[in-house]
Amino acid sequence: MLRKIDQKQVTKSQTLKVPLEGDLGGSSIRFPAEWEPQSFVQLTWPHAGTDWADMLDEVSECFVGIAREIVKRERLLIVCADENSVREQLRDLPQDKITCVEIPTNDTWARDHGGITVMEDGKPVVLDFTFNGWGMKFPANLDNQITRQLFEKNIFPENVKYHNRLNFVLEGGSIESDGQGTILTTAECLLSENRNNLTKEEIEAKLKEYLGAERILWLHHGYLAGDDTDSHVDTLARFCSPDTIAYVKCDDENDEHYSELKKMEEEIFSFAPLGVGGIPLPMADAVYDENGDRLPATYANFLIINDAVLMPTYNSPKDEIARGQLQKAFPDREIIGIDCLALIKQHGSLHCVTMQYGASPNPSKGGEFGGHDLKSL
């Protein structure tokens, strides 16, 4: 995420001449929670043309670790520059669980350029929103075309619909769903004038129209030093169930985050009348880059997959504290640590590089779009 922006690249990503698709009139829309059954997870693999060039081996090792845990439980879709290179790195994994698709990319942050799955009348629909490099900070012209190209390459089964929502900027890391109509988000991000330049009421109307939101919980406090995303909620507070939010808590009054995270905690406590409680996650120990700048290490950036939770670790004693707290939040899932020190060097972590795609609870109804149905090229 460190490369400076080329305005031509941003402009291209925002002005794709594609008509909007998908009439929502009369349909029932639901934005699934991450803990619901999944078909597959998308990774967008790092390559020499990205900001990972000078540490490609180090970050690739992290991606291999993530891929290894995913394919034990579900299929894996990899967007990459060179399929042969990626498959060689994953040679010890079951190749029939992996679909690779060669598509040009700017970077690796699948959470924010990946398609967002909703259930429309019980069937999966992939929504393609505009990704503009976190408010026009970084190039996104290639990443912004990935989801549409996956459909053009017939990677998804025919029963999965594509809906063009490129008239609205929305990143997957900026929204959390409880699967029952509630969305958790941050004002700092969604109300950024460099994304949509809309009022809060207009933003809420879009979330209700496109994601079927019935209730939107806004956080007005909380941030992480070194974060490029304008306080994505997936770095701060996460739904673990309809009545539980895991959130980053800072106990050190001398830490620069203390005041803002304390205020965020109070906001989460204010949701109690709505039947929502919180489980605190420790503030990760400070990690700095070679210039002395603090990096955005956070335990909230975990990924929920089928039967497990992949949790970022940072070679710290706090890793085990965070693991224990997440086990309380997910008593029926295995909590698996993934060393993400490499990822935070480019100002993201585990959830940021992944995007899950859901599955219908009843595949016989035609809502499944995973398993062997994920097509290979």
The string of DSSP letters for 15-40 reads ----------TT--EE---TTS-EEE
Long-range contacts of 88-97 (CB under 8 A, 24+ apart): 89/60, 89/63, 89/64, 90/64, 93/67, 93/68, 97/71
Task: Single out the residue of 145, 110, 122, 106 nearest to residue 18, CA to CA.
Answer: 145
Report the Cα 148 to chain-centroid distance in Å.
18
Report the Cα 14 to chain-centroid distance in Å.
20
Please state the length of the chain. 377
H runs (alpha helix) in the chain:
7-14, 56-71, 83-89, 110-113, 133-136, 146-152, 187-190, 200-211, 258-269, 318-329, 341-344
- 250: annotated active-site residue: no
**CB neighbour list of residue 373: distance below 8 Å, 6 or more residues apart:** 39, 157
Task: Single out the residue of 179, 109, 120 nearest to residue 369, CA to CA.
Answer: 120
Q: Which of 62, 100, 340, 352 is catalytic?
A: 352
- Cα 184 from Cα 213, distance rounded (Å): 10
- Cα 172 from Cα 354, distance rounded (Å): 10
Residues involved in catalysis: 352
